[in-house]
Amino acid sequence: METEHESDNNLIISYKLLRKLIGSIGVFLPVILGLGMFYFDKQNFIQDSISDYYGTKLRDVFVGFLFVLGFFLFTYKGYKSEGKGLLYNDNFFANIGGAFALLVALFPTTSESSIVRTIHFSSAALLFAVFAYFCLVIFRRGVAEQNRSEMKKLRNKFYFWCGILIIVCVAGAGASFYIMSEEARNETDIIFYFETFALWAFGFSWLIKGEAILEDKKELFYN
């Protein structure tokens, strides 16, 4: 019995760590790309979008982070409610999120092919949609509402607003192509900032799910 409890604890810790690693990628990707580019080109260290770093000396860093993110998402299992379909299968959404992350990396926005660029933009939008679904639905599930701790209720509010922020940022980035000229978008780097805030919302939601912060207080029991 003691061995079983130890195994369960190790499993819980591994999932918490995996969530923290996934969240860390979202938080640090735009920061690392910006700081790395600052080393090579102080005048243009902020690109028009995060995807545009593919065309810089930070290409391998950009692609590498997306591949690691994809791998972590494929590894993540989460919870599965039997008999309730795919909408209640965390693993399904993690897997398609991992697939979209790889497609974003493999089909760069800097390509001259319109088909490649379309695949990139579509995959990026769907990836953020998966991130938003995790925040708005998956992370907010769990124990019945009447049994939730105050900290769980606080976390759920945070997940909700992270999901809303992701949607607003993606919608804002898309709308900028219709209400702003290309020159204005490039001068303001608005796409980069929308993507950065969306990634931060995604990243911090996963960090909190991994109990990096806003963790429930646990009582210790000793035999």
pLDDT, tens only, 149-182 = 778 888 999 999 999 999 999 999 999 999 999 8
* Confidence class for position 2, pLDDT limits 50, 70, 90: very low
Q: Is 51 exposed, middle or buried (0-12, 13-18, 19+ CB in 10 A)?
A: buried
What pLDDT shows up at residue 112?
A: 87
**Sequential DSSP letters for the chain:** -HHHHHHHHHHHHHHHHHHHHHHHHHHHHHHHHHHHHHHH-TTS-S-SSGGGGGGSTTHHHHHHHHHHHHHHHHH----B-TTS-GGGBHHHHHHHHHHHHHHHHHS-TT-S-HHHHHHHHHHHHHHHHHHHHIIIIITT-SS-GGG--HHHHHHHHHHHHHHHHHHHHHHHHHHHHHHS-HHHHHHHTHHHHHHHHHHHHHHHHHHHHTTSSSPPP------
How many degrees, rounded to 5, is the angle at CA 136 between CA 130 and CA 140? Answer: 120
Averaged confidence pLDDT in the chain: 85
What pLDDT shows up at residue 144?
A: 55
Two structure tokens written together for 180 = 């702003």
Q: Locate tokens 């978008």: which residue?
A: 185
Q: Does 142 score more than 80 pLDDT?
A: no
* Confidence class for position 91, pLDDT limits 50, 70, 90: confident
